[in-house]
Amino acid sequence: MSTSTWVDVGGVAELRRRRKVVVPHDEGEVLVLLHDGDVHAFDNQCIHRQRELHRGVVLNGKLVCPGHQWAFELGTGWEATKAECQPTYDVRVESDRVLVDLASRATRTSPNPNPEIALENPHIAAE
C-alpha cells in the first residue's frame, strides 16, 4: 500500500486506562499499546505461531508473546533471540486522539532502525 490510511483508535485517556487496544482492519488486526508514555502498534498475530499478542505482557521494554515467549522490542518489533521482526505501524497523537497508519506496515530486517522507514513514536506525558 502506498497511501496513508490513518485510523482513529481512541482517545489518549482511554488507551492510558486500557493499556492495549485491538483494531480490526481488512488485512487482520493491529495491536496498539501504551507503555511508559509511548504508543506502539504491531500486527496482533505473532509471526512465530500466530498467537494473539494482545494476550501477552510488556516486560523490560518488550512485548512478550503468550505462546512461546518471543519478546519483541517495543520501538522496532525486533526479536533478538530469533533475529526476526514483528511488523509494526506508524502511530501519532493529534488533539488527544491516537492514530495508526494502516498503510505503514513495516517489517525490519535488523534491530537497527533504518532512517528511511523510521516510525513515529509519540510520547504521551503522564497526567
Taking the domains of the chain in order of start, what are their residue ranges?
6-117
CATH code at 6-117:
2.102.10.10
Which pLDDT score, from 0 to 100, does residue 98 have?
97
| Model pLDDT, residue 85 | 93
Statement: residue 114 has pLDDT above 80: no
Q: What percent of the chain has pLDDT over 90?
A: 68
Neighbours of 53 (CB within 10 A): 26
pLDDT at 107: 76
List beta partners, residue 43: 30
Say what the pLDDT of residue 101 is: 95
Per-residue pLDDT tens digits for 77-111? 999 888 899 999 999 999 999 999 999 998 766 66
